[in-house]
Structure 1
Amino acid sequence: MRTMKLGTSTLEVPVVAVGCMRINSLEKAAAERFVQTALEIGANFFDHADIYGGGTCEEIFSDAIRMNDNVREKIILQSKCGIRKGAFDFSKEHILTSVDGILRRLKTDYLDILLLHRPDALVEPEEVAEAFDLLESSGKVRHFGVSNQNPMQIQLLKKAVKQPIVANQLQLSITNSTMISNGINVNMENDSAVNRDGSILDYCRLNDITIQPWSPFQYGFFEGVFLGNDKFPELNQKIDEIAKKYEVSSTTIAIAWLLRHPAHMQPVTGTMNINRLIDCCKAGDVHLTREEWYEIYRAAGNKLP
């Protein structure tokens, strides 16, 4: 699969990341087939979080991939922390304790990337900085990032954190594209012009922070997928038309739409279906034209001013 640099790091990663949030839905043999297929097609970047399955997803993954030193050298592991029952927590103690748990469940000595999962209203950047310094100096974490954060929240962290923020995981899909729409509808009197995220797309591009779109097939907030959905007839007709031209599936085109954006995003899949994962990864070989990208954008109900 085609690769890219992650943020300002020297880490070379596949353009599509394999999300493991639902791996606990698979039986042992199916989980093993899934991760092995991912490796065979070059999808060796695996995204986790300590809350997925209450930690069981990381355990199931490490068993399925049969984690050992040889396997560890061939994969890139990312996990997230900062969410606990009834609260978000970026305290030094919670971050350090969470990482130790993540490493234990993944049966590894280090994470390639650690993301702070959801913004903590009570964050103290100095505590985050102390935690990151300890994790880096001990070799437990090599790179750091955030998830679901706006520019000022990242700037606040950078006030104390010295490590580069290499990634920001954000909800983004063809039907959830407000971060794109508000940049098109600048100074317009319509809902698409509302800046809901502080221009996070432009901020990440300016600061070489890789955006990792999560739920790339979802509409709303986990309301369902738009592909094959009767609620989006025009969009599906257009995607199917373009998919036929490139001789790929609609799944491939939906990911290719994100990859076509010059921000050099790294979509995170969520499927546990092997064939769909393969289709997602084929998107790295499809380069939509400017006209096709805008046709899909408009077919989703977005209007150009």
Structure 2
Amino acid sequence: MTMHDDQVDVTTETVATLIQEQLPQWSGKEIRLLQSTGTVNAVFRIGNDLSARFPLRLADAAETLAVLKQEARASAELAQVSRFPAPEPVALGEPGAGYPMPWSVQTWLPGTVSWDADPSGSDAFAQDLAAFIAALREAETRGRHFSGEGRGGVLTHHDGWMEKCFEESEELLDVRRLRHMWSHLRELPRAGADVMSHGDLIPGNVLVTGDRLSGVLDTGGFGPADPALDLVSAWHLLQRGPREVLRRTLGCDDLEWERGRAWAFQQAMGVVWYYVESNPAMSRMGRRTLDRILEAME
């Protein structure tokens, strides 16, 4: 089952043809589709050191290229300030072989995504995660501000989307209780000026080795946002004890912590119903996050 109505499927044969035609220096390398819970790109290994990312949702080629160039700049910037390994951009490909959009190549990072090696009970992992977030926050915004798209700006701007989520979740969740919770979370005032943030710290974007953070993926959204945004990781990735370790290490006050909970709530509400059939692992992540938020507010 596809995840999106406008999804563009990509095969290993298509990727091999594109590499042979556009990036022939890698044409002899093995190409493997990665089984992933990701919702934005199909990801393929190219040999042992590279990966190719193909946008899944059909979009204008020129607009897609602009997005990919911006993501490459953001990924390169994050890699320079991160205390943990992050992918670095290598090349951009063009439409071809039946695939209608540009695509990207970046370095490959070893490690296990936290979907498959759950570090949620590890205090050491929580400390690593805090160190990663702190390093991003220390990076210069260079006068940039939140772009106004997606999470990381004004909570009440998401009221329309949240209403749709509540309507779609009537048969899945305790919507009455969740509506009441959102009515509180949406009114939390801003805690501080924009800081640089990863923007999507969910299990599929975090690599672990043992119970330690070993790398961070999907870094193309690196940019200025609400300083509470990366605190979604507290709810997506951590159990109660390590969650408190993260909070203490970062020195979060009550308001910042609550806004982080609000952004995690907003994200979780969307993924539960949208991916309930097409990406069950992502839907389950949303349910688990909501359960953690509800438990903490009892």
Global fold match (TM > 0.5): no
Q: TM-score normalised by the shorter chain: which range applies?
A: under 0.3
Q: TM-score, normalised by structure 2?
A: 0.27
